Amino acid sequence: DTGVSQDPRHKITKRGQNVTFRCDPISEHNRLYWYRQTLGQGPEFLTYFQNEAQLEKSRLLSDRFSAERPKGSFSTLEIQRTEQGDSAMYLCASSLVFGGHGEKLFFGSGTQLSVL
């Protein structure tokens, strides 16, 4: 168990390009979350999956943002037509949920996106 892994650690892109981030959760975890953290702020919830089902996505910032978790394992977060305002750190977290209580989130080290 190596924890939650995110790739890449840093991404620099030009405005208008598409970017994709990957998150590998802890292997037995059934929930996976995406958060966004901008400078001077706490993380902000974006979306989450229970196994392969995306149960909440209304907090995704626009229709340029999309996330997938095929087969309930790793997840990808894609941003299309990036804008400078998308520059932020994108955090992934996973957890094992049972009985609705006792959930503990484990976070990755994030992907820092810079849009030029």
Partner 1 sequence: AQTVTQSQPEMSVQEAETVTLSCTYDTSESDYYLFWYKQPPSRQMILVIRQEAYKQQNATENRFSVNFQKAAKSFSLKISDSQLGDAAMYFCAYRSSGGSNYKLTFGKGTLLTVNP
Give the C-alpha distances (Å, rounded to integers) separating 77 from 1, 94, 98: 23, 14, 25
* Interaction between residue 100 and partner 1 (CB under 8 A): yes
CA distance 73 to 23: 9
Provide the sign of the torsion angle of the four alpha carbons 28, 51, 80, 40, taken in this order: negative
Chain residues 20-39 in contact with partner 1, contact rule CB under 8 A: 31, 33, 35
Give the binding-site size for partner 1 (rule: CB under 8 A): 25
Q: Does 107 bind partner 1 (CB under 8 A)?
A: yes
Q: Is 18 in the site for partner 1 (CB under 8 A)?
A: no
CB of 12 to partner 1, least distance (A): 17
Q: How far is CA 53 from the centre of its chain?
A: 15
Report whether 39 contacts 48 (CB < 8 A). Answer: no
Q: Which residues bind partner 1 (CB under 8 A)?
A: 31, 33, 35, 40-45, 48, 55-56, 59, 89, 91, 93, 100-101, 104-105, 107-110, 112
